[in-house]
Chains A and B, each alone.
Chain A
Amino acid sequence: MLNNILKTSRQVLYPVARTFSRSGNHGNVVTEAAATVGAPPATRSPLILPQDYTDCLPVSRNTARQAWIENTDAVAERKVGLIELHPDVFAAQPRVDIIQENVEWQSKYRYVSMAHTKTRAEVRGGGRKPWPQKGGGRARHGSLRSPMLKGGGVVHGPRSPTTHFYMLPFYKRVLGLTSTLSVKLAQDDLHIIDNVDIPTGDAEFLKDLIAERNWGPSVLIVDEDHMFPANICQASDDLGYVNLMPTFGLNVYSMLKHDTLVLTVAAVKHLEQRLLYQLNRNDAASKGGKFKLDQV
């Protein structure tokens, strides 16, 4: 039944739906309100977005995923459409070990250790020979700051700053993204909205929306563009557990830190396009080399 809907609406609705989703991304609040007032929401045509497999054929088409497209103009949930997700991006076999490596890399690569010990040359004092070389019966020592003695220097201790930077291989980062997106979808922690325009900048609206739709204790809202409308920025600024992010900043750590991942339709399309490009590029060997600090 779902396949029939997809087949019949593939040719007819795809261009119109794409235009609608793109143009509605940066819509003005006033125009949105006018549109809402002008036409009742129930009569708007559903947004059916089938997947176009001509460019990137998936490994297995049987594992294609579908997800509802939800509204953002009211607290009550209303499904405004249906989108088919590419299986190579959203139905990949989850590699939990690679997800863990990505989280560890994102924690470590920016960490600089400031632990600092002093050598015997830097510890204050200890210039005088503590006791004579001969005739005393004690072991010979030249300084009280020797590493062997209490209060002396430290040999091979930490010397700050020590960077823990390293770069994870390129395709581990790519697979980390596809695995995390697949895990989020499989755990039903991924929601797709048509755009990020909300009718008011009040934090209560966003809080009620999250509570009504069971979006969990923390939410990450991802859009394709890095310029977000004023209302959602104002509302999310008052809530510490709601964060906004453009697609180029999407990463494994942030996806796992937030309980729910909310993507716009434009963000889903952009993510699929970029990740499928990386998975199918014919110069993949060039990305496998050693990371250079001045590479772009």
Chain B
Amino acid sequence: MNVGKISVVTRLPALRSCAQYSSAAKAELPASLVGDVDVEPTYPQTVDRSGLQPQHKNVLLNKLPYQEPHSWIHLTEKYQRQAFGRYGAQSNVNPKICFDSHGEKDSRQVMQLETLLKMLEKNRAQKAEELARINAREEDIAKKMEKLTQWKADLHAKIAKREADAAAAIQRKERLVEEVRRHFGFKVDTRDERFKEMLEQKEKEDKKKQKEAKRKAKEEKMMAKLVEKASV
């Protein structure tokens, strides 16, 4: 479009016609202008006047936009499949990439089809496995139901023992306080220093008694065991 406008002389029709038809005028012109007259742009047989980029023109003419990739997008598999779908073999895309377009999973499923007998056998095995699992769980539940009565009794005994221990501890403390008060003979405040010291002594004595009682109980247990062994 702008090729013809580069030369100034060719844009001036009067000057050009004057230079063309008069040899005397050519002598008068400067050398640069005379040189410009001789040089004219040469045109090919046909000239493109669409004003489009080459890739857009190719899209318009239903051809591959770019002969070689111009962007990373053109190397993606999605673009290549699209190019093959739209432009066919002209796109130089290997049509193998269009196969298995739904992914490997479908292909594996298609290739691993089983016979009817295999399917029946697999189904039967699954059902048997399920049934075995259910039976095992039910047996386990039945065993636990048999133990339920014993577990209830144990729980109640444990609760009773705990309550008895707590009550015994409370009674022991009250008894010690009474002993200390009887020792002094008069009402003494529980926060008095003398009361506290005496309480500690009484506690120590009581601990000794408890230890002796435990030891005696233990000896009695051992004697009972020995007696049993001797009798057998």
Minimum CB–CB distance for B28 against chain A, Å? 23
Query: Which A residues lie within 8 Å of B30 (CB)?
Result: none
Tell me the bound Cα distance from A234 to B52 in angstroms.
19
Cβ contacts B56-87/A at 8 Å (1 or 0 each) = 01001000000000000000000000000000
Give complex CA distance A127, B62 in Å.
61
B43 touches A226 (CB 8 A): no
Beyond A244-B49, A249-B51, whether A234 also contacts B43 by CB under 8 A is: yes
- Residue in contact with A246 in the complex, picked from B2, B11, B45, B49, CB distance below 8 Å: B49
The residue in A203, A226, A246 that gathers the most chain B C-beta atoms within 10 A of its C-beta is A226
Which residues of chain B come closer than 8 Å to A248, judged between CB atoms? 50, 60
Instruction: Mark A48-75 against chain B: 1 for CB-CB distance below 8 A, else 0.
Output: 0000000000000000000000000000
Taking CB atoms, residues of chain A closer than 8 Å to B48 are 226-228
CB neighbours of A203 from chain B (8 A): 13
Let me know if A233 is at the binding interface, CB within 8 A: yes
| A residues near B60, Cβ cutoff 8 Å | 248
Query: In the assembly, what is the distance between CA of A201 and CA of B4, in Å?
Result: 12
Pick the residue among B4, B45, B50 that contacts A238 (CB under 8 A): B4
User: Residues 245-266 of chain A: 1 if any B CB is under 8 Å from the residue's CB, otherwise 0?
Assistant: 1101100000000000000000
Residues 169-208 (chain A) with a chain B CB within 8 angstroms: 201, 203-204, 207
Across-interface contacts of B51 in A (CB, < 8 A): 249
Chain B residues with CB under 8 Å of A26's CB are 46
Tell me the minimal C-beta distance from A33 to chain B in angstroms: 15
Complex interface: chain B residues within 8 A of A207 (CB): 13
Whether A226 pairs with B13 at a CB distance below 8 angstroms is no
- Chain A residues with CB under 8 Å of B50's CB are 226, 246, 248-249
A231 CB to nearest chain B CB (Å): 8
Asked whether any CB of chain B lies closer than 8 Å to the CB of A77, the reply is no
Which residue on chain B has the smallest CB distance to residue A228? B49
Contact at A227–B47, with CB atoms within 8 Å? yes
A233 near B13 with CB under 8 A, answer: no
User: What A residues does B24 contact at CB under 8 A?
Assistant: none
Kindly state whether residue B5 has any CB partner on chain A within 8 Å: yes
A240–B4 Cα gap in the complex (Å)?
10
Contact B10 A238 (CB under 8 A): yes
Total residues of chain B contacting the partner, CB 8 A: 22
In the complex, B167 has a CB within 8 A of chain A: no
B4/A230 in contact, CB under 8 A: no
When C-beta atoms are compared, the residue in chain A nearest to B7 turns out to be A238
Which A residues lie within 8 Å of B17 (CB)?
204
Most buried by B among A28, A204, A237: A237
Smallest CB separation, A195 vs chain B (Å):
13
Q: Please determine whether B57 and A233 come into contact, CB atoms closer than 8 angstroms.
A: no
Q: B35 at interface (Cβ–Cβ under 8 A)?
A: no
Beta-carbon nearest neighbor of B44 in chain A = A230
- Is A229's CB within 8 Å of the partner chain B? yes
Task: Find A233's partner among B2, B10, B43, B52 (CB 8 Å cutoff).
Answer: B43
Residue in chain B with minimal CB distance to A201? B43
CB A52 to nearest CB in B, in angstroms, measures: 26
Whether A226 contacts B10 by the Cβ 8 Å rule is: no
Known A237-B5, A248-B60; judge A228-B47 contact (CB<8 A).
yes
Q: Across the interface, name the chain B residue whose C-beta is closest to A196.
A: B49
- Chain B residues near A226 (CB, 8 Å)? 48-50, 52, 57
Smallest CB–CB gap between A196 and chain B, Å? 10
Question: Are B57 and A204 closer than 8 Å at their CB atoms?
Answer: no
Nearest CB of chain A from residue B52's CB, rounded to whole Å: 8
B3 in the interface, Cβ–Cβ < 8 Å? yes
B110 contacts chain A at the CB level, 8 A cutoff: no
Q: How far is the CA of A234 from the CA of B3 in the complex (A)?
A: 9
Contact with A along B154-194 (1 / 0, CB 8 A): 00000000000000000000000000000000000000000
Give the docked Cα–Cα distance between A240 and B1 (Å).
Answer: 9
Specify which chain B residues have a CB less than 8 angstroms from the CB of A238 in the assembled complex: 4-5, 10-11
Q: Kindly report which residue of chain B lies nearest to residue A238, judged by CB atoms.
A: B4
- Can you list 13 contacts pairing A with B, beta carbon distance less than 8 Å? A201-B43, A204-B17, A207-B13, A226-B50, A227-B48, A227-B49, A228-B48, A228-B49, A233-B47, A237-B5, A238-B5, A245-B49, A249-B50
- 10 pairs of A and B residues whose beta carbons are closest in the complex: A237-B4, A226-B50, A230-B43, A233-B47, A227-B46, A244-B49, A238-B4, A228-B49, A234-B43, A228-B47
19 more contacts with CB within 8 A, not counting A204-B17, A237-B3, are A26-B46, A28-B45, A226-B48, A226-B57, A227-B49, A228-B49, A229-B46, A229-B47, A230-B43, A230-B44, A233-B43, A233-B49, A237-B5, A237-B41, A238-B5, A238-B11, A244-B49, A246-B49, A249-B51
